[in-house]
Amino acid sequence: MAGVSKSTPPCISRRSAGATGGPVLQLGDPDMPTMQTSPTPANEAQRLARLHGLGILDTLPQKAFDDISALAQVICGTPVALITLIDSNRQWFKSRIGFDGQETPRAVAFCSHAILDPGQVMVVEDLSQDPRFTGNPLVSGPLNARFYAGAPIVTDDGFALGAVCVIDLKARTLEPSQVDALRRLSSMVASLLEHEKARLHEAQRQTASAQRHNEQLTAMATAGLDLQAYIDTDYVYRHVNETYLAYAGCQRHEVVGHQVQEQVGEEFYRETVQERLSRAMAGEPVFYQRVAHYKAMGRRHIEVALLPVRNQEGQVTGVVMRAHDIQALKENEAKLRDTVVQLESKTLEQERFIHIISHDLREPINTINNFTSLLVSDHQQELTPTAQRYLSFVQSGGQRMRFLLDDLLHFVRLDNHAVQIRPVEISRLMQQLQDDLAGVMLRLGGRIDCETQPLVMADESLLRIVLKNLATNGLTFARRGVPPVVRVAVEQSADFHRIHVTDNGIGIAADHQHDVFDLFKRLHTRKRHEGSGLGLSICRRIALLHGGNMTVQSKPDEGSCFTLHLPAQPAVRHLE
């Protein structure tokens, strides 16, 4: 695939893990594998200067960047999407979806490897199989990252500042169209970063003093990227720079010494220029945007500043006109608008899907269930044993379909749920669930144990769904001859509240534990255990909506412990 850096670099296959150029980081656990940190780029000092010069680090979240990371998540179908910037000793996130925290150490950043080749999109299909990342705590730790793809954010002068990246918890690959989309999104981020820098400079320029204006006038003789001109109080051009002449496609003598209205045309001067230029001549800095048609450059969006120039007595002696070409910015704004339209279209499609589940599919299922119930209650004795057996198949199949629709509706509605975080008393919630599950416990001879527990920060209605799913599974997946017991406990730390739901059931084999949270994943046939295969997927999605995570530890024939990790100080994250 052209333009993609994929799997393990050639140098890994020829040299030992510690000989790839980067130092090897030894983590605190002596049994944990070593982790290779990325080499430092040859232009690191200049790269950092370029990054710090943008003034973007540690700024507040901005919708334009969040929209781009949301689009990357949708296009690639991953739970995590980030816009990262690699600083001297940290990786800082300008935007993040599905990942907790504002930054990580640079040593563990996948993107610190991606920026080493600015022209390539780095794709690692299985992080656990790449020697660069096997010891990385993001791979071997609770996050359990498995897939990474990152498109470097490269400035016009060739510095890779970070990446637009996606992360998945399972090994996978990307289609060429998805890789190309990541590359285009990183290009948009690079343009946005430059725009933010220009906006900051513009604000500073607006508040500059008259001395600053005079310094700008003196510097006009040098070449610059902006179009610049000096106009005296008679509205005559006295100086223009090379950029102005390049755009206008003319010689200096064709402009200098001529009236403004001669150059721009009487009608345009009267309707657009005259009033603004007069305000600037009166001492007011004037700023506006317009579309200009240049002989050499064609139609361009420009941002114009008219800056009064004063003498030592404070009198206005002329105006400096500076025109900044923002055509690329306008084009990127148009791209972003298209992105928003795509996201809104996705929302409408989801709403239509929910309507189909809620009404169009539910109605025939209800009809089947209602009439099969009538057949069972009124005519079962009239049927032959074979017909009764067939009728039971229809009845159980209709019930399974109803349960599946209910779970699927819960799952797709999560994205639109407004998460409301408040203290929740787990003991009270579990008492309510025990009442709900009394029939199941009586039928299976099981019980649920939950002593008084500390409060946790969560959305109570969503937490109820998680605990009910986990408790029901713990009771249902019991070992033969062993009464099922489910225990619920809360563990608190400075950063997280961990809710442990432990059972003494059949357990889960180690090679199946990584994918039990996948959609429609079933490890047993319906003859042994009923279910839709959506319960644990719903639980994990609710955890992510809280900015947390869901993990499992299990041993076959001993039981399982599912842990819901909730931030102690939650920053709610909405999945898009």
Supply 13's token pair: 């296959």
User: Is 395 in contact with 373 (CB distance < 8 Å)?
Assistant: yes
pLDDT tens-digit readout, 212-264: 555 555 554 444 678 888 999 999 998 888 888 889 899 989 999 999 988 88
Signed CA dihedral, 508, 510, 511, 516: sign only: positive
pLDDT < 50 regions, the chain: 1-2, 7-32, 220-223, 520, 525-527, 529, 531-532, 572-576
* 11 CB neighbour count, 10 Å cutoff: 10
3-state helix, strand, coil in the chain (%, to 5): 45, 25, 30
Distance CA 453, CA 426 (A): 6
Q: What is the DSSP letter of 22?
A: S
Q: How far is CA 139 from CA 17, 147, 398, 495, in A?
A: 17, 9, 42, 20
DSSP class per residue in 175-221: -HHHHHHHHHHHHHHHHHHHHHHHHHHHHHHHT--HHHHHHHHHHTT
Distance CA 108, CA 90 (A): 9
Signed CA dihedral, 347, 353, 355, 358: sign only: negative
For helices 385-413 and 362-379, the axis angle rounded to 10 degrees is 150
Coil, strand or helix: which one is 106? helix
Which pLDDT belongs to residue 9?
36
Q: Pairing mode, if any, of strands 286-294 and 103-105?
A: unpaired
For 361, list phi and psi in degrees, rounded to 5.
-85, -35
Distance CA 532, CA 402 (A): 10
Which pLDDT belongs to residue 291?
87
User: Is 82 in contact with 93 (CB distance < 8 Å)?
Assistant: yes
Which pLDDT belongs to residue 515?
73
Distance CA 91, CA 138 (A): 13
For helices 176-206 and 63-76, the axis angle rounded to 10 degrees is 180
User: Is 56 in contact with 193 (CB distance < 8 Å)?
Assistant: yes
| Closest among 343, 339, 347, 458 to 412, alpha carbons compared | 347
**293 burial type by CB count under 10 A (0-12 exposed, 13-18 middle, 19+ buried):** exposed
Distance CA 532, CA 511 (A): 21
Distance CA 419, CA 471 (A): 22
Distance CA 501, CA 539 (A): 12
* 476 CB neighbour count, 10 Å cutoff: 19
For helices 327-355 and 385-413, the axis angle rounded to 10 degrees is 150
Which residue do the tokens 């000092």 mark? Answer: 45
User: Is 146 in contact with 126 (CB distance < 8 Å)?
Assistant: yes
For 350, list phi and psi in degrees, rounded to 5.
-65, -40
Which residue do the tokens 């003093």 mark? Answer: 209
Greatest Cα pair distance, the chain, in angstroms, is: 112
Distance CA 237, CA 244 (A): 12
Which residue do the tokens 């002329």 mark? Answer: 318
Which pLDDT belongs to residue 21?
38
User: Is 336 in contact with 344 (CB distance < 8 Å)?
Assistant: no
| Closest among 73, 561, 572, 571 to 550, alpha carbons compared | 561
| Closest among 154, 177, 135, 144 to 27, alpha carbons compared | 135
* 29 CB neighbour count, 10 Å cutoff: 10
Residue burial 546-568, b: 16+ Cβ < 10 Å; e: rest: bbbbbbbebeeeebbbbbbbbbe
Signed CA dihedral, 364, 368, 371, 374: sign only: negative
Which pLDDT belongs to residue 570?
63
Which pLDDT belongs to residue 539?
83
Supply 67's token pair: 């929209």
For the chain, helix (H) and strand (E) counts, in that order, are 18, 21
Distance CA 111, CA 153 (A): 10
